[in-house]
Chains A and B, each alone.
Chain A
Amino acid sequence: DSELEPIPPPQLAEPGTQGIIRGRDLFGYVGIEAVLDQMRRKTMKAGFEFNIMVVGQSGLGKSTLVNTLFKSKVSRKSCTPSYEEKISRTVHLKSVSHIIEEKGVKMRLTVIDTPGFGDQINNENCWDPIVKYINEQYEKYLTEELHITRKRRIPDTRVHCCVYFLPATGHRLRPIDVEFMKRLGKIVSIVPVIAKADTLTMDERLDFKQRIRQDLQASGIRVYPQKEYDEDVEDRIRNDKIRENIPFAVVGTDKEHQVNGNKVLGRKTKWGIIEVENVAHCEFANLRDLLVRSHLQDLKDVTHYIHYETYRVRRLNESNASVSGLSALPLENGITEKYEAQSQL
């Protein structure tokens, strides 16, 4: 014999949770978390893009660091120390793309190098070509987005992260550092690092970092992860820990040595081997974890939802304001300052 009973209406868990039907109240199981699987499959198929820019004077180990980060020769230089390069007269940007794969996840990594930055006698405005490049990528994306027939996936050449190399002087930020980061911090996520940190003792390192953090705050420079973009308490706790430790002091190399029977990446000196991936020696692993293992997607999101949107709004306002038509050029730094000056009137 069988019984007929109407299904009871879903019990609301507590007052104040009106309208939310919890899994345990349902008779059975709908299976909605399978959507995660579907998304995963799709994103794995499509692959990921990541564009990282490195900025700093010649000889600070930018290319080496990027190669070490991604364990492949992805930057424009090989790592052989005998490689000599003439210091170029102007800052010109070089971008190199590679597709790297790991455990079925494909990534199109683009490294944008900025040789010539800060190398001249007079370095005024050496950041201009960099600002121009970044804005050009935003403009490219915007044009695609506004097109009548759009691509399903707009190719993303926007700079997701700008790693800024500070020489390990042990003192403070230099004027060029402040000038650069002030301007760029408004349009891209900057991750400052202390380069070639094997000349600093642990104490010197701590003091140096503290002074840098003070300088950053005093100059109103916002570096990644920016406090105002923390989405919730969980993010804030996670990112506070990072903010208390930046800039990371890094050492890079592609050479391997034997230490205690293991092969490690390191720099061999007469007084010992500096193990790059040993957190007791330097913070390379922390930087790698931040950039690649935990915050890579977040870097892209901040670029897309915040920096790019800011650019877009300014651009659209500009185009609406002009009656006769639109300038064909993307926003330049000068215009930004002009807008700021005007808004203070």
Chain B
Amino acid sequence: GMDAIMLQEKLVERLLCARGRTMRQKVDKQYVGFATLPNQVHRKSVKKGFDFTLMVAGESGLGKSTLVNSLFLTDLYKDRKLLNAEERISQTVEITKHTVDIEEKGVKLKLTIVDTPGFGDAVNNNECWKPITDYIDQQFEQYFRDESGLNRKNILDNRVHCCLYFIPPFGHGLRPVDVEFMKALHERVNIIALIAKADCLTPNETKKLKDRVRDEIERFGIKVYQFPECDSDEDEEFKQMDKELKECTPFAVIGSNTVVEARGQRVRGRLYPWGIVEVENQSHCDFVKLRNMLIRSHMHDLKDVTCDVHYENYRAHCIQQMTSKLAQDNRMDSSIPILPLPTPDAETERLIKMKDEELKRMQEMLEKMQQQMHEKDQ
């Protein structure tokens, strides 16, 4: 009866009040009462919990593990052994997964970190991103099978929602391996480029490097994750924050596993003879911006873009391949149930052809650029 509803509303209020914003839905007689709908949806989400899969990629020693630990306040890598140089010669690119359940204020998050040890570490790094693209595609394929199957009750979503790519701060912008990697992945996953170990850069150097990287990302046609546009009805504070966020990319980050005492407080930081770097000090690095963006404001959008764009592209591509193969083989033994759709009409076929041609053009452009870079190096 009525008390069950009040109980539910109280529960949701308690949870949502945590942010200090009053979201009290005083439903009295004047209203129909469907304004409680968002609360009804939330109640279910809180019960179910959320999940998020984050991939980190970049060469060894760029502080990836430390940053992940700092972001989620965990110590995922405490049992890790670092390989010596000889062992690393024969190491190939691996994919490792760590899962951890985090609970805060009644909200459960199942966080999966996908790590890519060995990436870019070899002498010959040709196509070192292939195990990574294969992994991402495999998760898409798994989801596609599950989604098309008959029992869809408990589908596990292992798709990668975001990839943090670490760019070394020592160079002068993007290196060939950075460009190749990001281009191999930008249509499969949301890429967020980071400048790693930013404590070796002065503010001026940081700005120069960021400008250069942003410029090169655009020039090479790399499609990194775009923050969605702000709604016109958002408040000014939010719009300002959003603007600052966009102008700050690529984020220059520093991570730390240690606690130091600075300015009378205990903070995460790095102690040097010349001073203390505070991870959460926004004038020292962009860690806070990255964390806020990744967790507090854009986690949901990252998942949405993965589902609505990257996954849908994969799925459409997959189906087209399957239907053309079936037409060739003239058999209907696909394990994925599909209703035999009518052959695509002229309009759809034209669009498919256009896309193919566009892909071909991009391919040619990339080859030309590769050649230019080779020539530049020589």
Contact B104 A29 (CB under 8 A): yes
Asked whether B103 is an interface residue with its Cβ less than 8 Å from the other chain, the reply is yes
Nearest CB of B to A147, in Å: 7
Is the pair B44, A289 in contact by a Cβ cutoff of 8 Å?
no
Contact between A241 and B1, CB atoms less than 8 A apart:
yes
- In the complex, the answer to whether A20 meets B103 with C-beta atoms within 8 Å is yes
Q: Is the C-beta of A38 less than 8 angstroms from some C-beta in chain B?
A: yes
Q: State whether A6 and B34 are in contact (beta carbons under 8 Å apart), knowing that A148-B319, A313-B150 are contacts in the complex.
A: no
Beta-carbon contact of A293 and B300 below 8 Å: no
- Chain A residues near B258 (CB, 8 Å)? 4-7
- Determine whether B296 belongs to the interface, using a CB cutoff of 8 Å to chain A: yes
Tell which of A57-65, A87-95, A97-105, A114-122 binds the partner. Answer: A97-105
Q: How far is the CB of A19 from chain B (nearest CB, A)?
A: 6
A9 is contacted by which of B19, B36, B75, B104 (Cβ under 8 Å)? B75
Interchain CB contact (< 8 A) of B38 among A6, A44, A237: A44
Given A149-B316, A298-B40: A289 and B2 interface contact (C-beta under 8 Å): yes
B42 beta carbon closer than 8 Å to chain A? yes
- Give bound CA distance, A93 to B298, whole Å: 43
Q: How many residues of B contact A (CB 8 A)?
A: 82
Q: Which one, A30, A31, A293, A325, contacts B33 given CB within 8 A? A: A293
Q: Does B244 have its Cβ within 8 Å of any Cβ on chain A?
A: no
Once the chains bind, are B40 and A296 in contact (CB under 8 Å)? yes
Instruction: List the A residue with the shortest CB-CB distance to B280.
Output: A28
- Answer whether residue A238 sits at the interface, using C-beta atoms and an 8 A cutoff: yes
What are 13 A-B pairs at a CB distance below 8 A? A10-B74, A20-B102, A26-B73, A30-B71, A30-B72, A35-B50, A40-B16, A42-B300, A148-B316, A232-B47, A277-B29, A292-B32, A297-B40
Number of interface residues of A (CB under 8 A): 81
- When the two chains form their complex, are residues B259 and A23 in contact, meaning their CB atoms are under 8 A apart? no
Chain B residue numbers with a CB within 8 Å of A50 are 34
Assembly CA distance A150 to B313 (angstroms):
10
B299's partner among A21, A38, A237 (CB-CB below 8 A) is A38
**B residues in contact with A152, CB < 8 Å:** 308
A288 touches B32 (CB 8 A): yes
Most chain B CB atoms below 10 A, which of A9, A40, A147, A301? A40
Partner of B301 from A29, A38, A143 at Cβ < 8 Å: A38
Q: Give the Cβ gap from A259 to chain B, nearest Cβ, in Å.
A: 13
Asked if B85 CB lies within 8 Å of chain A CBs, one says no
- Give B253-264 as 1s and 0s: 1 = Cβ < 8 Å from A's Cβ atoms: 000011111100
Partner of A104, one of B35, B106, B262: B35
The smallest C-beta distance from A219 to any residue of chain B, in angstroms, reads 26
Interface of B with A (CB < 8 Å)? Answer: 1-2, 4-5, 8, 15-16, 18-19, 25, 27, 29, 31-38, 40-42, 44-47, 50, 71-75, 78, 99-107, 109, 150-153, 231, 257-262, 268, 271, 276, 291-292, 295-301, 304, 308, 312, 315-316, 319-320, 332, 337-341, 344, 348
Interface membership of chain A positions 14-33, coded 1 if the CB is closer than 8 angstroms to chain B and 0 otherwise: 00000111110011111111
Contacts of B25 in A (CB 8 A): 103
Among A167-175, A180-188, A208-216, A316-324, which stretch is in contact with chain B?
Answer: A316-324
Q: Does A329 contact B (CB under 8 A)?
A: no
A293 to B5, CA, bound (A): 8
Q: Are A294 and B40 in contact (CB under 8 A)?
A: yes
Are the CB atoms of B102 and A30 closer together than 8 Å?
A: yes
Would you call A146 and B231 a contact (CB within 8 A)?
no
Task: Give A74 Cβ to nearest chain B Cβ, in Å.
Answer: 10
* Bound complex: CA A21 to CA B210 (Å): 35
Q: In whole angstroms, how far apart are the Cα atoms of A115 and B311 in the complex?
A: 44
CB-defined contacts of B276 to chain A, threshold 8 Å = 2
User: What is the distance, in angstroms, from B161's C-beta to the closest C-beta of chain A?
Assistant: 12
Residue contact B8 to A147, C-beta cutoff 8 Å: no
A33 to chain B, nearest CB (A): 4
Q: Which of B41, B106, B292, B297 contacts A297 (CB 8 A)?
A: B41
Closest partner residue, chain A, to B104 (CB atom): A23
Q: Are B37 and A31 in contact (CB under 8 A)?
A: no
> Which 7 A/B pairs are nearest by Cβ-Cβ distance?
A297-B40, A38-B300, A103-B35, A293-B33, A34-B296, A33-B107, A23-B104
Chain A residues whose CB sits within 8 angstroms of the CB of B299 once the complex forms? 32, 34-35, 38
Residue of A9, A29, A316 touching B78 (CB-CB under 8 A): A9
The minimal Cβ–Cβ distance linking B317 to chain A, given in whole angstroms, is: 9
Partner of A4, one of B38, B102, B271, B300: B271
* Bound CA–CA A149/B299 (angstroms): 25
The answer to whether the Cβ of A309 comes within 8 Å of any Cβ in the partner chain is yes
Q: Are B74 and A21 in contact (CB under 8 A)?
A: yes
Min CB gap B243→A, angstroms: 18
A30/B37 in contact, CB under 8 A? no
